[in-house]
């Protein structure tokens, strides 16, 4: 695992790439934003933590950055051992097709994304060459070309930053090697339950990201708003019930007790306990923290709603779980993307009604 490529040098891919480069790992970053690529080449890649460049996770590194149009030149170089896919979920297919010819025969592809995209990668690269990584504790934003801000504390043994896993669930030397690479940027471990980890992280994204996208609120504003917080609880509760109906063993993630969250819609004591946990997590993050879909709406970009709330809605309907709130959130965000609506807390009434 000596030669690494990261396709997608945004908040997560750029964060990991900067830390790998700073550690001396042979890393190539590939991105589609020309200004970002040029700035990385010229100035290096800077990551600041919650307290600036002295904060947790902060690093500055000289990096090798290529635009997607320059990837063909890599055919003259040694093949890559690992390719991390860190693009938006809707770009997974082309990103995998782009990098696959440049992998060594024993090389593998690792999803470092929101959503659950390992099946899409495996359909191209092969199941035996595909792994996944649940990014459990990292909240970050690409705020300007070559500038990333981390808005969450580093993970620890109670809340691991990264969880790497094989699709078949066994612990392998390559999974351990990939985990060791990621540990340059945050705490990391190998999981034997990737699919459960993935759905657990999907639950956190499904209950938080879409609410920020449709309201325009930051993460902390969302959690302090009583109506928005109630919607996040309903979204999280139903997502857990879908995951369990699918037969998945869900894992603790996001500082929340999933058993309590699953009961929170019907059990007042569970709802009160989850509310306290949500507020505790909110107070551990910076005021400016905004989840990825909220960032996308703010910047006028397409969101991953179909791969987050839309995915929960589709799977829930298949297994007979009430997923009305995921369906409504997904539909409203789609209307915002099309310019039919403007993000506002007033839209909460349309979802909750």
Q: Could you report the per-residue pLDDT of 110-132, keeping only the tens digit for each? A: 999 999 999 999 999 999 999 99
Residue 248 vs residues 26, 197, 264, 316: alpha-carbon distances, Å? 36, 9, 20, 13
The mean pLDDT of the chain is 94
User: Which residues lie across from 6 on neighbouring strands?
Assistant: 29, 84
| pLDDT over 90 at 212, yes or no | yes
Q: Do domains 3-192 and 198-352 have the same CATH topology?
A: no
When mean pLDDT is compared across 12-16, 238-242, 255-259, the lowest value belongs to 255-259
| pLDDT over 90 at 334, yes or no | yes
| pLDDT over 90 at 170, yes or no | yes
Q: Are 178 and 1 in contact (CB under 8 A)?
A: yes
When mean pLDDT is compared across 150-154, 164-168, 207-211, 347-351, the lowest value belongs to 150-154
Residue 137 vs residues 30, 40, 157: alpha-carbon distances, Å? 24, 25, 11
Q: Could you report the per-residue pLDDT of 268-277, keeping only the tens digit for each? A: 999 999 999 9
| pLDDT over 90 at 286, yes or no | no
316/331 Cα distance (integer angstroms): 16
Residues 6 or more apart from 166 whose CB is under 8 A from it? Answer: 131, 172, 175, 194
278/256 Cα distance (integer angstroms): 7
Q: Report pTM.
A: 0.93
| pLDDT over 80 at 163, yes or no | yes
Q: How many CB atoms lie within 10 A of CB 184?
A: 17
Among 236, 216, 328, which residue's Cα sits nearest to residue 281? 236
pLDDT band, very low/low/confident/very high, at 16 (cuts 50, 70, 90): very high
How many residues can be counted in the chain?
353
What angle do helix axes 309-319 and 324-337 make, rounded to 10 degrees?
150
User: Which residues lie across from 3 on neighbouring strands?
Assistant: 26
Among 350, 232, 226, 351, which residue's Cα sits nearest to residue 291? 232
Q: Could you report the per-residue pLDDT of 58-113, keeping only the tens digit for each? A: 999 999 999 999 999 999 999 999 999 999 999 999 999 999 999 999 999 999 99
H helix count then E strand count, the chain: 14, 12
* CATH superfamily label, 3-192: NAD(P)-binding Rossmann-like Domain (3.40.50.720)
What angle do helix axes 194-215 and 309-319 make, rounded to 10 degrees?
120
Residue 233 in tokens: 């609880």
Give the CB-side neighbour count of residue 198, counting CA atoms within 13 A. Answer: 27
**What is the structure's pLDDT at 139?**
87
User: Which residues lie across from 189 on neighbouring strands?
Assistant: 163
Among 159, 96, 155, which residue's Cα sits nearest to residue 131? 96
Q: Return the domain boundaries, the chain.
A: 3-192, 198-352
Phi-psi region of 115 (alpha: psi -120 to 50; beta: other; left: phi over 0): left
Residues 6 or more apart from 66 whose CB is under 8 A from it? Answer: 28, 29, 30, 31, 37, 73, 74
Helix (H) or strand (E) holding 141: strand 140-144
198-352 to CATH, choices 1.10.10.10, 3.90.1280.20, 3.40.50.620, 1.10.1040.10: 1.10.1040.10
Percent of the chain with pLDDT over 70: 99
């Amino acid at each position: 695992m000596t030669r690494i490529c990261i396709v997608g040098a945004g908040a997560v891919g750029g964060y990991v790439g900067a830390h790998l480069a700073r550690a001396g790992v042979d890393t190539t970053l590939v991105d589609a934003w020309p200004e970002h690529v040029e700035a990385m080449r010229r100035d290096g890649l800077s990551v600041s933590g919650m307290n600036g460049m002295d904060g947790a996770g902060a690093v500055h590194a000289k990096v090798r950055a290529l635009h997607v149009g320059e990837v063909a030149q890599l055919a003259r170089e040694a093949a890559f051992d690992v390719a991390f896919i860190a693009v938006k979920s809707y770009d997974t297919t082309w990103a995998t097709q782009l990098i696959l010819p440049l992998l060594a025969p024993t090389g593998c592809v690792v999803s470092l994304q929101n959503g659950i995209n390992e099946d899409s990668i495996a359909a191209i690269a092969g199941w035996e060459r595909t792994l996944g990584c649940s990014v459990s504790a990292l909240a970050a934003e690409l705020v300007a070309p070559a500038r990333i801000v981390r808005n969450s504390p580093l993970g620890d043994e109670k809340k691991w930053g990264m969880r790497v896993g094989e699709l078949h669930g066994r612990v392998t030397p390559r999974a351990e090697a990939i985990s060791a690479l990621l540990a340059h940027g945050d705490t990391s471990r190998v999981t034997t339950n990737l699919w459960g980890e993935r759905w657990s992280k999907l639950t956190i994204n499904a209950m938080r990201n879409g609410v920020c996208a449709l309201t325009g609120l930051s993460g902390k504003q969302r959690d302090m708003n009583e109506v928005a917080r109630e919607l996040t609880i309903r979204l999280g509760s139903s997502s857990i019930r879908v995951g369990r109906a699918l037969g998945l063993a869900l894992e603790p993630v996001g500082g929340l007790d999933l058993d309590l969250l699953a009961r929170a819609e019907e059990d007042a004591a569970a709802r009160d306990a989850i509310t306290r946990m949500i507020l505790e997590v909110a107070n551990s993050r910076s005021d400016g923290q905004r989840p990825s879909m909220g960032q996308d709406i703010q910047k006028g970009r397409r969101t991953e709603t179909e791969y987050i709330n839309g995915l929960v809605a589709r799977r829930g309907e298949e297994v007979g779980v009430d997923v009305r709130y995921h369906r409504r959130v997904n539909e409203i965000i789609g209307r915002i993307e099309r310019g039919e609506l403007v993000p506002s807390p007033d839209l909460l009434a349309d979802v909750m009604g």
